[in-house]
Amino acid sequence: MLKGIGEGTENINIDMLIEKVTNIAAEKAISTYENRRKEELKYSYDRKLRNTKLLLKHYKDFKRHVNNSIFKVSNVSENAIEILEELINTKITENLFVESISNSVSRTNIIISHINTMINIYEAYSKQHGELEERKYRIIYKRFIDEKQWSIKEIATSENIDNRTVYRDINLACGKISVFLFGIDGVNKF
C-alpha cells in the first residue's frame, strides 16, 4: 500500500485508483493485441486469396511452361504446400510470383498437380452443394482451366448471368479454393 498525503481513506483511494488504472491498462493491452492479431490473420488470408487468384490466372502459362520445357520433370523432395508457403511468406510482386514458379519445371509441375487435385476436389464439393456452387465451379473452369480462352462476357452469356455476377462468383469460388489449396491457413478466421 502506498503512503498517501493524508490518512486512512486517502490511502485506500490511491490503492483503488492504482488498481483501476492497472485494469484499464491491461484491458487496453489485450484489446491492442487482439486487434493486431486480427489484422495479421486478415493480411495472411488476403495474401492467400490473392495468391490463389494468381495461381489460377497463370495456370495455363504454368502448364505450357511444363509441357514446352526442354528439361524433364524430376522427382523433387518438395511438396506443394512447402512451395506455396515459401511463395506466400516471401513478399513478392505478381511478376516475381510468376517468375519464381516458372523458374523450376519440377516445382511448377508439383504446383500444377496440386491445383488440378484441388480443382477436382472443388468440383466434387460443388456437386454436393447445389446449382449455385456448381455454377461457380463452371465459371472457374471456363475462366482459368479450359483450353478455350473464355471472356467474362462469354461466360456470362453461357451461364445466363450478368458480368458482375461472374466476377462475384470468381471471388467467392477463389475463397473456397484457397481453403483447398492452403488448408486451414486459407480459412477466413477474422
Question: pLDDT tens digits for 110-148?
Answer: 889 999 999 999 999 999 999 999 999 999 999 999 999
Compute the mean pLDDT over every residue in the chain, rounded to the nearest whole number. 83
Is residue 46's pLDDT more than 80?
A: yes
The 3-state secondary structure of the chain, one letter per residue: CCCCCCCCHHHHHHHHHHHHHHHHHHHHHHHHHHHHHHHHHHHHHHHHHHHHHHHHHCHHHHHHHHHHCCCCCCCCCCCHHHHHHHHHHCCCCHHHHHHHHHCCHHHHHHHHHHHHHHHHHHHHHHHHCCHHHHHHHHHHHHHHHCCCCCCHHHHHHHHCCCHHHHHHHHHHHHHHHHHHHHHHHHCCCC
Is residue 39's pLDDT more than 50?
A: yes
Residue 138, C-beta contacts closer than 8 angstroms, at least 6 positions apart: 159
Is the pTM above the cut of 0.85? Answer: no
**100-110: average pLDDT:** 72
**33-38: average pLDDT:** 90
